[in-house]
Amino acid sequence: MRRGTDLPASTDEAAPAACPFHQQRGIVPTEAFDRWLDTDLRCSAGKREFQLGRYIVAHVRNGYQFLEALETFREGVDTHSKTGYMAIVPSEPGDFTDSVGELRRLGEIMVEAGFADSAGALINSQTIAIPFEVKCPVTGQMTIYEFFPVAFCRHAAVVADPLYDPSLSTPFLAINTTSDAFAFGMLVKDLCQRHFHCEPYEVKDRVDFERLLHKCANAWQNMSANTIQGYNKVSAVPERAVHLSPDRQGWIAPHNDPVFAEMTKEPHSHEMPVIYAQRLCEKWTAALFDGASYSPGRDGQSGGWSVSFAELGLADPSTP
């Protein structure tokens, strides 16, 4: 597949007598995936990672196949060659009548993979954090970065669906696993190699290092703002749109990021990179120049906090 993504026809290990139609049922053709990537993916950071070939994309029909591809992804994270893993669960548009059925199917995959005890509980606002101990792209130290799977589905794009949320919609069923902190660290690594021709932890001058981080944090903030503004434009319902706060320090969504899925839609406010990326930059600087210990925690995906529709100047859709 172009841009370096991995989109196998199927990860099924078919028996000799297996029905070939069943093997291919619900598989997303490369051409259709590319169209979505080119025209409908509005996440600036995600699009950048796809273009750099740092995404693994795999069709998975069960938890075992999810884990197989996850291990390949972990190896890519370890070598700093991958930052994202999209597991596509084969299905046809008519297989489900609403988002609930689709999300439950995705939840079953995670239960089979051992990341949850119940699909019903998982899709009711639970968060999965998958820890990878890898070499930090900025400090060079072995560090635990947490990666968060989030469910995406077709009916999230259907206005009449009770869980309408276009920012969590894809024209196929998918589980997207990323770490904002690690991806931001990779951006620092990229720009450092471009400007200083070395790894970030090899920059000896603190002023140069801090200037690099400032440039990267601004770029990450702008990418996030572009993403939010892009998804804001496609929502047909103001209450289900994502919004950038007036001071650009926060963003509001009709969901709590990075929970796996939710059965109700309520507005939540989250930190923008101007807040969490700055925190990461301070941690990296302290680790390299002050000898401080470093842990990214959940910076970038620490979860949101509930806000009211009144605070947002919107009508509560549940009020007659």
Half-sphere exposure of 306 (CA within 13 A, CB side): 5
Read off the pTM: 0.90
Residue tagged 């070598």 (tokens): 79
The helix (run of H) or strand (run of E) holding residue 165 is: none
β-strands 84-89, 55-59 pairing: parallel
What's residue 229's pLDDT? 95
Which residues of the chain fall below pLDDT 50? 1-6, 9-22, 318-320
Query: How far apart are alpha carbons 224 and 273 in whole angstroms?
Result: 7
| Residues 217-256 pLDDT 10s | 999 999 999 999 999 999 999 999 999 999 999 999 999 9
What's residue 304's pLDDT? 73
AA letter at 185? G
What's residue 302's pLDDT? 67
Terminal Cα distance for the chain, rounded: 49
DSSP code per residue over 73-101: HHHHHHTTS--EEEEEE---GGG-SSHHH
3-state secondary structure of 183: helix
Determine the distance from the C-alpha atom of residue 307 to the mean position of all C-alpha atoms in its chain, rounded to a whole number. Answer: 22
Q: Could you tell me if 210 and 225 are in contact, meaning their C-beta atoms sit under 8 angstroms apart? A: no
What's residue 315's pLDDT? 57
What's residue 303's pLDDT? 66
CA Rg value for the chain: 20
What's residue 242's pLDDT? 96
What's residue 24's pLDDT? 83
Determine the distance from the C-alpha atom of residue 50 to the mean position of all C-alpha atoms in its chain, rounded to a whole number. Answer: 12
Domain boundaries, the chain: 2-178, 186-312
